[in-house]
Amino acid sequence: MPSARDKPSHPLWHTGPTMELSDYIRILRKNWLIIIVATLVGIGVAAAFSLSRTPQYEASSTIAVSTQGSGTVAELQQGSSFAQTRINTYVGLVQTPIVLNPVIVAMDLDMTADELAAQVTASSALNTTLITVAASDSDPVQAAEIANAVAASLSSVVPEIEPTVSEGASPVRLTRVSDALPPLKPSSPNVPLNLALGALVGLALGIGFAVLRSVLDNRVRTPRDVAQVTESPLIGAITFDTKAKERPLIVHADPLSPRAESFRALRTNLQFLDMGGRASFVVTSSVPNEGKSTTTINLAIALADAGKRVALIDTDLRKPEVAEYLGIEGGVGLTDVLIGRVRVGDVMLPWGGRSLYVLPAGKIPPNPSELLGSHQMQTLIDVLERDFDVVLCDAPPLLPVTDAAILAKSTSGAILGVATGRTTRHQLSGAVDALHTVGAKVAGVVMTMVPTRGPDSYYSQYGGGYGGYGYRQPEAKTAPASPRGRKRSPSDVPGPMAPTGPIATPDAPRRPHPLLPQAAAPTRASSEASARPAAAGPDAAAPARAAAAPSRSTPAPARPTVGEPPKVVSTPHADAAAKSDFDALLAGETVIDPTDSTTHRRS
């Protein structure tokens, strides 16, 4: 059963934050092209509609309604009130056959009364006795003639249908006070109005589509999207690089690039995580192609550059890539160590002139999940934790296979990579749930392939980045890393290097690992010890190894420049006694030397 802390990792437990003004602005910035296209389409439709319509001209004639009576004021007042009450009746008569039929006959129109009624309208202003008769037609002259003819027909019909007074005359009289004239401009279509309406409709549809698209988009694009799925901290954002395939080891190939700086920021945040005193991490992702392998390797290089003693293990026993990226031999590695075929000291080599040791994956086994969940793997991780500052494991994705979840339970936590704009919230939620199911801890989330510009830029969420601060490239040309898929030559591949010496902490100096290959330090004591005959026995070998370890005051050898390929230095094997001790430890046998940090587990 998930705990209360784990509940936010499921999307059904999130109602989602309310959208703020900044969210709408980000939506408009992101979908500005769609909005502009929709607006232009609306204008185009309106223009096409206007051009397809036949121009119509409208002419109007005005009629005044009055009453007949004596000249007294009272009678005039009564007549005006009577005329206003009859105005609506006269307006309704304009579109009746009794008024329109005489017009059709008089003008010899080839239409019916209903068809003519569609071209004629009548209206009256409030509290007036004026009637306006309007007629529309494609011919402006005929429109004026129809309006005048309808007004004349109404003036003659109304006295006939109204009741007569005692003298036999009608009390109502209609007088045409304004004749219709042929208009000079068409009344319809109103092109400016249609274009404005088309632009408004297109703009509204574009904004609506942009908002709907943003609401329905469940891909992880911003830190807020990550926070909606998991409470684990966001410890890094790796910027997108179009040349990432050409130079995957960016921290080694171009240390001054913004992407390399992203890994150094990740290194800083990783050092401040509270993992209960442990420092072993599984770097994984939800689905393939999210940049987990390059993230693991560059993070290991960045940690080694900061003086950390780093162990990099390729635990992806299905599609291993660490050996290919680093340009080292990966035919023998972790698989052979776990099954007892080789010793770890034979296959774990230093790389790049740094305090970085790499253990390749080796041969692809038929049962990778069982090997990674074995007691030997747990023992190997515990041993490496005691002799390295940081242990990084490059593991397969979480959703396709369970290898990473099984391995994460044996380490201090998992670092989950999320490809910006590719990984969906459902995929991220499934990966987090897979880790929580086995009881593993999510140490943090790293967003990869983060755009440096645009509304989805990680730095745009926090005020636009570094402003005027930039990076100055070195004058010397750097040798680009070999692209994947091409056979590397010795001239462009950084080979394994001898370690620069163990890293000693101020409180307790760390001695060299007896199982890892050590290069002879350039000291007089080490030269004398190496010159002694082998017949001196094992008693003489111990002081020789002690003299070979450089002291804290001994300066580390100079690191080769970025463009210069490092030189390959052969490393001797560790002594047979230490190797047998480690094999006994992997086999679960009794510890031989309880004082050795490599042969007892942490309490």
Q: Are residues 148 and 20 in the same domain?
A: no
Q: What is the percent of the chain with per-residue pLDDT over 70, rounded to a whole number?
A: 68
Mean pLDDT of the chain: 76
Interatomic CA distance for residues 465 and 104, integer angstroms: 78
Where in the sequence is the domain holding 308, given as residue range(s)?
Answer: 223-531+538-575+581-586
Better-scored residue on pLDDT, 109 or 543: 109
Interatomic CA distance for residues 363 and 520, integer angstroms: 31
pLDDT beyond 70 at 258 = yes
What phi-psi label fits residue 501: left (phi over 0), alpha (psi between -120 and 50 degrees) or beta? Answer: left
pLDDT beyond 50 at 9 = no
Q: Is 185 within a domain?
A: no
Q: What is the mean pLDDT of residues 212-238?
A: 90
Q: What is the mean pLDDT of residues 218-224?
A: 89
Residue labelled with tokens 């992880």: 220
Least confident of 65-69, 215-219, 257-261: 65-69
Q: Taking each helix axis from N to C terminus, what angle separates 292-305 and 258-271, rounded to the nearest 10 degrees? A: 70
Q: What is the pLDDT of residues 364-391, one digit of tens each?
A: 999 999 999 999 999 999 999 998 999 9
Q: Is 601 within a domain?
A: no
Question: Do 442 and 215 touch, CB atoms closer than 8 A?
Answer: no
Single out the residue in 178, 208, 236 at which a domain terminates.
178
Q: What is the mean pLDDT of residues 78-84?
A: 70
pLDDT beyond 70 at 419 = yes
Q: What is the pLDDT of residue 72?
A: 64
Q: Are residues 366 and 481 in the same domain?
A: yes
Q: What is the domain count for the chain?
A: 3
Q: What is the percent of the chain with per-residue pLDDT over 90, rounded to a whole number?
A: 47
Q: Please, which residues have CB within 8 angstroms of residue 185's CB and are 6 or more apart in sequence?
A: 57
Q: Are residues 48 and 61 in the same domain?
A: no
pLDDT beyond 60 at 501 = no
Interatomic CA distance for residues 476 and 479, integer angstroms: 10
pLDDT beyond 80 at 499 = no
Q: What is the pTM of this model?
A: 0.61
Q: Are residues 48 and 69 in the same domain?
A: no
Could you give phi then psi for residue 91, rounded to 5 degrees? -65, -40
Quickly state the pLDDT bin for 12 (edges 50, 70, 90): very low
Q: What is the pLDDT of residues 24-76, one digit of tens each?
A: 888 888 889 999 999 999 999 999 999 998 999 999 999 988 876 556 656 66
Q: Are residues 112 and 209 in the same domain?
A: no
Q: What is the pLDDT of residues 130-150, one digit of tens each?
A: 899 999 999 999 999 999 999
Q: Is 1 within a domain?
A: no
Q: What is the pLDDT of residue 469?
A: 45
Q: Taking each helix axis from N to C terminus, what angle separates 375-387 and 576-586, rounded to the nearest 10 degrees? A: 130
Single out the residue in 164, 199, 216 at which a domain terminates.
216
Q: Are residues 152 and 208 in the same domain?
A: no
Q: Are residues 80 and 24 in the same domain?
A: no
For residue 187, the Cα-to-chain-centroid distance in whole angstroms is 51
Q: What is the pLDDT of residues 162-198, one digit of tens each?
A: 776 656 566 778 888 899 999 999 988 999 999 999 9
What is the domain-level CATH number for residue 169? 3.30.70.1130
Q: Are residues 474 and 509 in the same domain?
A: yes
Q: Are residues 274 and 407 in the same domain?
A: yes
Q: What is the pLDDT of residue 79?
A: 64
Q: Is 203 within a domain?
A: yes
Better-scored residue on pLDDT, 392 or 470: 392
Q: What is the pLDDT of residue 127?
A: 79
Q: Is 602 within a domain?
A: no
Q: What is the pLDDT of residue 200?
A: 96
Tokens describing residue 254: 């171009």
Q: Is 319 within a domain?
A: yes
Q: Is 470 within a domain?
A: yes
Tokens describing residue 447: 């967003």
What is the domain-level CATH number for residue 495? 3.40.50.300
Question: Do 299 and 267 touch, CB atoms closer than 8 A?
Answer: yes
Q: What is the pLDDT of residue 77?
A: 65
Q: What is the pLDDT of residues 506-556, one digit of tens each?
A: 333 444 444 454 443 333 333 333 333 333 333 333 333 333 333 333 343
Q: Are residues 212 and 347 in the same domain?
A: no
Quickly state the pLDDT bin for 456 (edges 50, 70, 90): low
Q: Are residues 37 and 107 in the same domain?
A: no
Q: What angle do CA 597, 296, 395 make, to 5 degrees?
A: 80
> Quick one: DSSP state of residue 587?
T
Q: What is the pLDDT of residue 167?
A: 61
Q: Is 597 within a domain?
A: no
Q: What is the pLDDT of residue 102?
A: 92
Q: Are residues 206 and 245 in the same domain?
A: no
